[in-house]
Amino acid sequence: MANYTDESVLKKVDGTEARWTTKYSPSDTVPVSGIYRCVNCKREVTCNEGESFPPQNHSQHAPGKPILWKLNVRTNTTGEI
């Protein structure tokens, strides 16, 4: 889970938009910059818009538990949130 020291730097959203609910596979293109969490192993990565998600070998998963990235914290790299 992402940690923070000052809650005023975060803004709570309802999380129903597709960007918060869509799951992405390894090597998919990152749609928005942010911190993504694997829904199965809970490991987090920071990814930049337009780049690729980490490859399949980022960590070992149990059989039947694929790497699926989901947006956890959107970062403000463009001045808009």
11 domain-assigned: no
Tokens 């129903």 appear where? Answer: 16
Non-local CB neighbours of 66 within 8 Å, separated by 6+ positions: 25, 40
The two structure tokens encoding residue 18: 């597709």
Reading the block at residue 29, the tokens are: 């293109």
The reply to whether 35 falls in a domain is: yes
Residue 53 forms part of a structural domain: yes
Q: Does residue 48 belong to any structural domain of this protein?
A: yes
Check: CB of residue 53 under 8 Å from CB of residue 69. Answer: yes
Identify whether 5 is part of a domain. Answer: no
Q: How far apart are CA 22 and CA 76, in angstroms?
A: 19
In a domain, 7, yes or no: no
Domain that holds residue 41: 20-74
What is the reported pLDDT for 31?
A: 95
Task: State which H helix or E strand residue 37 sits in.
Answer: strand 34-38
The DSSP symbol for 5 reads S
Please tell me the total count of domains within the chain.
1
Which of the four pLDDT bands, split at 50, 70 and 90, describes residue 64?
confident
Q: What is the band of 58 on the pLDDT scale with cuts at 50, 70, 90?
A: low
Name the band, by pLDDT with cuts 50, 70 and 90, for residue 14: confident
